Amino acid sequence: MYELRHEFGTSGWIRLARERSRDLVRFLDREFGLIAELTAARAKTFTLGDVLAARAESRASAGRAIGRGRSLENALEELVKGLGLAYELRTQFIGRNGQTAPCDLAIPTAAEALVVCAAKLFDSTGSKLTDAVREIEEMAEVRLPRQFVFAVVDGIGWLSRRADLRRIHALRLSQRIDGLYSLAMLDSFAADLTAAARRVGLTVG
């Protein structure tokens, strides 16, 4: 529903279907491959076994995605350890006016965060991806001027969630976050993190 509000200014899909059906179908097809999915589904005959198998696979995929997400966080943790920086994982940092926002990495601590980072693997369900984008937007919203905000995103899921990726990229273009990286860009992230840490007075090993 958040994607509809972002695109059309409303999450009321029933009203959109009645008043802007062509626009709604175009959007759903562009972002989620709606027509191809419907065409494939119409050509198939589903049994109860298919439904049960699909449910089991979705749960297994979710479990694998959590594991891969942890691997992304582990890669960042190893990087920060190598720089000799103090940090906290999977926490809430304190920003403007005492407001808090979730982050996957806070340096040096959540209570006195000077650098925060989101680590989001785009290889899970749609709702999880939207939640990931919302978390990054919250980080950008509550940040203090002296706080650096970075995001590391990866995974093939972004191919079907381009609107979410564009929202994160827009935060970078507007300088509401200080960096956006993939796993292939960890060297660039390490260089930018090192520079940010030094700018806020942290000792880098």
| pLDDT bucket at 138, cuts 50 / 70 / 90 | very high
148-168 pLDDT, tens digit per residue, is 999 999 877 766 677 888 899
Residue 201 three-state SS = coil
What are the CA-CA distances from residue 102 to residues 4, 83, 137, 139, 159 (Å)? 24, 23, 10, 7, 25
109-119 pLDDT, tens digit per residue, is 999 999 999 99
Sign of the torsion angle spanned by Cα atoms 125, 130, 131, 135: positive
Q: Whole-angstrom Cα distance, residue 77 to residue 86?
A: 10
Going along the chain from its start, the domains and CATH numbers come out as: 2-44 (no CATH), 69-199 (3.40.50)
DSSP state of 110: S
Contact 36, 160 (CB under 8 A): no
Q: Whole-angstrom Cα distance, residue 89 to residue 106?
A: 6
| pLDDT bucket at 130, cuts 50 / 70 / 90 | confident
| pLDDT bucket at 58, cuts 50 / 70 / 90 | very low
Q: What is the pLDDT of residue 1?
A: 52
Question: Over 70: is that where the pLDDT of 78 sits?
Answer: yes
Question: Over 60: is that where the pLDDT of 33 sits?
Answer: yes
